[in-house]
Amino acid sequence: MKFTALQIATHINGSIEGNEHVSVNGFSKIEEGKEGDITFLANPKYEDHLYTTKASIVIVSHVLELKASVQPTLIRVSDPYASFAKLMRYYQSLLSTHLVGIEEPSYIHPSAKIGKDVYIAAFTYVGENAVVGDNVKLYPHTFLGNGVTIGNDTTVFAGVKIYHHCTIGNHVLIHAGTVIGSDGFGFVPESNGIYKKVPQLGNVVIEDYVEIGANVCIDRATMGSTTIKMGTKLDNLVQIAHNVEVGQNTVVAAQAGISGSTKIGNRVTIGGQAGIVGHIQIADGVKINGQSGVSKSIREKETIVTGSPAFEFSTAMRSQAVFRKLPDLDKKIKELENLLEIMLKEKEELSS
């Protein structure tokens, strides 16, 4: 498929500098652009590539001031990264095959309710009283337990397991290998040292427009619900424990873990490999840097924390600066101690 600069500018509400009739049929990074490609410039450190790229069209900011002439046609927008992403989503939607129908072999319980225009791939299992909404896509080896509900326009990729009575909203995307509704990690030690399992009787609720990466585990609640709220995005290999609540439009990077009954606010950013203990609260807008260990509640909104145990970012940076100077400080202390010793000896000699 080919698109002209005029068609693209119309779609992303941009203004054209150059040939509005030039066409493209592919995407590329700016440093790897070739004729027929469209690319973008959002990070200033890549600006030098704007003057050397072979790409036919580059999406740039309205406020970018050119330092030299450029060969590509420019499309100016307020946010190049967001506009490029919008364009890629549109292109992907055109490429996507409109899969509809129920393949064999698959099992659908007679009591299950199946919506319109669904795609249920081979080797899929849909349990008793499950509900599958309109335009849902279930890829091979998907398992939906009894009483599972899936809203409209949701896609569940291969090998996803959704345990009984969990609820998935509309426009949700769940990538391969994810498990939703497995038992929470609940055990009680008895007097003989043996751990007795605590029944996990709750469920998991995934609200609308959530995206869940590959091989994510979201545990069901002991009682009530583990909840992932609207618009949240979970990266691959994330662990969400029982009774956790993750707020709206929060993002969690790969290999992060959130322990049981912790409440995460809206618009929180959690970096890769961060760990959060159970039964605490994280306020709206908090940013937790990668590999941080959060051991207590963060109640002030928009706070940035880092380290393990995690503490306020600017304080942590000052502490790191002092830490780097410790060898020099140690050397100065020893010099001062030696000087003090000499001065004391001189004082003793004078007094005698």
| Cβ density class 12-29: b for 16+ within 10 Å, e for less | bebebbbeeebbbebebe
Q: Are 290 and 310 spatial neighbours (Cβ–Cβ below 8 Å)? A: no
Distance in angstroms (rounded) separating the CA atoms of residues 104 and 123: 7
The percent of residues in the chain predicted with pLDDT above 70, rounded, is 99
**Full set of structural domains in the chain with CATH:** 3-95 (3.40.1390.10), 101-314 (2.160.10.10)
> Is 165 tagged catalytic?
no
Nearest CA to 184 among 207, 165, 202, 159?
202
Q: Which residue has the tokens 């939607």?
A: 93
What one-character-per-residue DSSP string does 315-338 give?
HHHHHHHHHHTHHHHHHHHHHHHH
Distance in angstroms (rounded) separating the CA atoms of residues 272 and 147: 33
* pTM, entire model: 0.80
Catalytic residue among 49, 141, 171, 242: 242
* 189: β partners: 195
Q: pLDDT per residue over 231-279, tens digit each?
A: 999 999 999 999 999 999 999 999 999 999 999 999 999 999 999 999 9
Q: Tokens representing 49?
A: 């590539």
Q: Tokens representing 266?
A: 């809206």
Distance in angstroms (rounded) separating the CA atoms of residues 256 and 270: 7
Q: Is the pLDDT of residue 97 over 70?
A: no
